[in-house]
Amino acid sequence: MQNPHNAFKQALAQGRSQLGFWGSLADPYSTEALASVGADWILIDGEHAPNDLRSILGQLQAIAPYATQPVVRPVNADPALIKQLLDIGALTIMVPMIETAEQARAVVAATRYPPQGIRGVGAALGRASRWTSIPDYSLKASGEICVIVQAESTTALDNVHDIAAVDGVDGVFFGPVDLSASMGLMDQPTHPDVISAITNATRIVRNAGKAAGVLCTDPEKAKGYLNAGVQFVAVGVDVLLLVHSAKRLLDGFDRPSTVASTLLGYG
């Protein structure tokens, strides 16, 4: 059996644009449904969505038959958690709130076996090695692991050159919501100053030979980011797609306001 190939990492290395979705419903069934529509990647969110190790495992298994590539976001940069995610078969991780090159190097080290890093050697017990069915998994694993770090503050942007230069970092993902808050523009992720900051930082990341990514659910602004050199863009969030489409459907009917508020959970 061959080591699973990371098509997402290859696409980033080749400079190809990748469109994805944010998965926050924390359920294999909904994640598989999303995978069926043909996106390049799906983010399985362990930071803000109610996911745990087993629910993430279930979603990795659900996505496996599809061409869509899973990207897993842990709640933080804890090396023990990163180890567990890699052992259950995550090939691409996106680690939030990275502000310095030192933190980025620590993330990379958590994904590498000694002597290059500190990942515990125990994949024989897990899905990553297909329970020892992949020969020499421990010698080949790092070649298919993709490390994305999130820059979500003004401090991170100040250090983005050094972060992008870290060996083993494949890409830098800009979090516009947290960044807008850090810039004193709370809940304004599409403010011109935020877009300008991300666009400028994207140039730095691309000049370092790394990929830049962002979450942007406004199609026109997402296209603007792609034109500016951002390679991988999450263009929709599953829970918001569900809620907004459901609300639009209900809004198309003439109903008493009390009924509408009750159905929407406000009554």
Active centre residues (catalytic): 48
Do the beta carbons of residue 53 and residue 88 sit within 8 Å? Answer: yes
Other C-beta atoms lying within 10 Å of the C-beta of residue 146: 24
CA distance 29 to 59: 8
Tokens 């061409």, located at residue: 67
Would you put residue 206 in left (φ > 0), alpha (ψ -120 to 50) or beta? alpha
Q: Omega before 74 cis (within 30°)?
A: no
Do the beta carbons of residue 1 and residue 134 sit within 8 Å? Answer: yes
For 110-200, list the strands marked E by DSSP.
146-151, 171-174
Q: What does the block give as tokens for 115?
A: 């002597």
